[in-house]
Amino acid sequence: DAKTTQPPSMDCAEGRAANLPCNHSTISGNEYVYWYRQIHSQGPQYIIHGLKNNETNEMASLIITEDRKSSTLILPHATLRDTAVYYCIVRSPSGFQKLVFGTGTRLLVSP
């Protein structure tokens, strides 16, 4: 079972920031938070991951609360191409832990 909870859907206007929340209250000390997204008919795409510090890359920013029980993925300037299902995954980076995909958040970016 997925160890994360996400809203099933969200809307965002093009050009605005999209803030996608994720709850992971049972996260363990060595587990990271990973975000992937899946655009229709394509394979999932890795976005970003983090342990406890905020992370930023060319795609997005990841904000993790101090208690690590929740996080937010931020797409600073959403475009129509960001319309996708976004998955938040909690996982240990060691060994060969599988990715457990929940139902994700379906983000719809509108003009």
DSSP, collapsed to helix, strand or coil, labels residue 56 as strand
Q: Which residues pair with 7 in a beta bridge?
A: none
Q: Is 95 in the site for another protein (CB under 8 A)?
A: yes
Binding span for another protein by CB under 8 A among 15-23, 58-66, 70-78, 89-97: 89-97
Query: What per-residue string of b and e applies to 55-79 under the rule 16 or more CB within 10 Å gives b?
Result: beeeebbbbbeeebebbebbbeebe
Q: Is 29 in the site for another protein (CB under 8 A)?
A: no
Q: Give 65 or 97: the residue with its C-beta nearer to another protein.
A: 97
Distant-in-sequence, close-in-space partners of 95: CB < 8 Å, separation ≥ 6? none
Q: Is 86 in the site for another protein (CB under 8 A)?
A: no
- Among positions 34-63, residues that touch another protein (CB under 8 A) are 34, 36, 41-46, 49
Question: What residues line the site for another protein (CB under 8 A)?
Answer: 34, 36, 41-46, 49, 87, 93-103
